Amino acid sequence: MSNHAQPSVNPFAAQQHHLRERLRHFLAILHPVLHVDVVTALEAEGKLLSHAATSVDSPPAGLWPLLTLLVAQSISPDMNPICAGNVAVAVECFVCAIDLLDDVIDEDQTSTLQALGVARTLNVSTALLTLAQQAILSLSQQNVAPELILRLLTTLQESALMTTAGQHWDVLVEQRPAQSFTQEECIEIAAAKAGSIMRLACRLGALCAGADDVLCEQFSELGELLGIAHQLDNDSHDLYYLLQGDTSALGSAQAERNVKTDLVRGKKTLPVVLAANMPGILQSSSSPADEEKEGHLRALQQGVITTWGICLLYRERARDRLQEIEAQKPVAPLLHLLLGFE
Amino acid sequence: MEEQQIQDFVHRVAQDETLRKELASHPEGVIMREGFSPRVARVVARLVPQLALDKPLGPSLGWW
């Protein structure tokens, strides 16, 4: 189930078609030996070139570039669609590159990693990061002011560094005991990873549409809050289904493997950290084994519910931010639909 | 801090059977008494089925 009342006809079909056309334009510059592997990565589930049929509950292919495009078109409905499309394609390439690096670092056995192996995957990631910059630089051919191009590129670079720092932080903390973590640190990591990527998707859309600084910041914050909520939603539901023994709800065997890999690698997700810091539950070493196991389970369940609550809190904050934006001008209905707010 | 308010409330409900029963029968009264901000009150109201009635976790937020 999802809270998105998505009709059976794909409402984003026209935008996806435009984005795919723009993406193929940039892919055409790649050498054939590289082109085929880059396309493989961009055809993965959820990516813009995915062949998977859209079901009522599944996200539309190319969710991230759609967000950038719809933010831009909502702010400036008459803006040059090639410009908006190219900036959105930069986001798709950037997110795909970061996802590939994340998969390699976490040793997730995704379909792309299985098909390409580590060496080719890393090379594809490099190509995609370069294509992201290329897509923004191409705006000069559309008579976009050099100052704006520089601002867009700077935003992309800042986000790349923030996301990389978040990923590095996430790797470093694998060696630390969960008890040494705080709720704040977990949320800071979520903000640096998922938060910064969604912040980028919204900010680039607002920037390229000529939004003023205040509106750019409002859309950036909206994106960051939604990104953090998304990460906490995943963390709480993944662990919840695992505790329930309902791994089919994770969506795929690959998703189940990834969740287990996260636990084995010692990822400090918020529910795990909250459970580890619950007084008198996980630290108890004097209780018999069964009682201790039950205590662990109760603590994890409580950690899951608390994380879900904090996720809802971030979602509420995002809703407040959207209302501030809409107090000036309502956002386009398609953007509303994509954001998932009633 | 709103995050801490939610964490503390979930912990208290888990430890306190009386509070859990009261939350199940009069959620609005409990939420009002706690003096939460409107935003935290909306969140806690959505957590009542899991906190007090042992219902499964709400559905994933979906795309985001």
| ipTM, interface predicted TM-score of the complex | 0.93
- Chain A residues with CB inside 8 Å of B64's CB? 198, 226-227, 229-230, 233, 339-340
- Chain A residues with CB inside 8 Å of B61's CB? 2-3, 229-230, 233, 311, 315, 340
Q: Is residue A241 part of a domain?
A: yes
Closest CA relative to residue A174, chosen from A240, A263, A281, A108: A263
Arithmetic mean of pLDDT, A41-62: 84
Q: Is residue B27 part of a domain?
A: yes
Min CA distance, B64 vs chain A (Å)? Answer: 5
Q: Is residue B57 part of a domain?
A: no
- Chain A residues with CB inside 8 Å of B42's CB? 312, 316
User: What pLDDT is attached to residue A256?
Assistant: 58
Instruction: Write the pLDDT tens digit of every residue in A209-235.
Output: 999 999 999 999 999 999 999 999 999
Q: Is residue A7 part of a domain?
A: no
The answer on pLDDT for B9 being more than 70 is yes
Instruction: Tally Cβ neighbours within 10 Å of residue B55.
Output: 11
Arithmetic mean of pLDDT, A42-64: 85
Q: Is residue A277 part of a domain?
A: yes
Q: Is residue B63 part of a domain?
A: no
- Kindly report the pTM of this predicted structure: 0.89
Q: How many domains is chain A built from? A: 1
Domain assignment of residue A141, given as a range = 13-339
- Chain A residues with CB inside 8 Å of B39's CB? 313, 316-317, 320
- Chain B residues with CB inside 8 Å of A317's CB? 39
Q: Is residue B8 part of a domain?
A: yes
Cross-chain CB nearest to A274 (options B7, B40, B47): B7
The answer on pLDDT for A257 being more than 70 is no
Closest CA relative to residue A138, chosen from A94, A85, A63: A85
Q: Is residue A199 part of a domain?
A: yes
Arithmetic mean of pLDDT, A272-278: 89
Tokens of A275: 């459970």
The answer on pLDDT for A4 being more than 90 is no
Its sign, for the CA torsion A209, A210, A211, A216, is positive
Q: How many domains is chain B built from? A: 1
The answer on pLDDT for A43 being more than 80 is yes
Which residue carries 């409905």 as its tokens? A77
User: What pLDDT is attached to residue A74?
Assistant: 97
Distances (CA, A) of A49 to A96, A339, B13: 11, 21, 47
HSE-CB at A8 with a 13 A cutoff on CA atoms is 0
Confidence of residue A108 (pLDDT cuts 50, 70, 90): confident
Q: Is residue A19 part of a domain?
A: yes
More confident residue, A295 or A124: A124
Cross-chain CB nearest to B60 (options A187, A237, A298): A237
Instruction: Write the pLDDT tens digit of every residue in B10-32.
Output: 999 998 999 999 999 999 999 99
Mutation site, A68, A297, A308, interface B, largest B CB count within 10 A: A308
Residues of B near A (Cβ–Cβ under 8 Å) read: 2-4, 6-7, 10-11, 14, 39-40, 42-44, 46-47, 50-51, 56-64
Min CA distance, A241 vs chain B (Å)? Answer: 9
Write the burial class of residue A117 (CB in 10 Å: 0-12 exposed, 13-18 middle, 19+ buried).
exposed
Min CA distance, B13 vs chain A (Å)? Answer: 10
Q: Which residue does chain A place closest to B50, by CA atoms?
A: A305
User: What pLDDT is attached to residue B21?
Assistant: 93
The answer on pLDDT for A279 being more than 80 is no
Domain assignment of residue B43, given as a range = 2-52
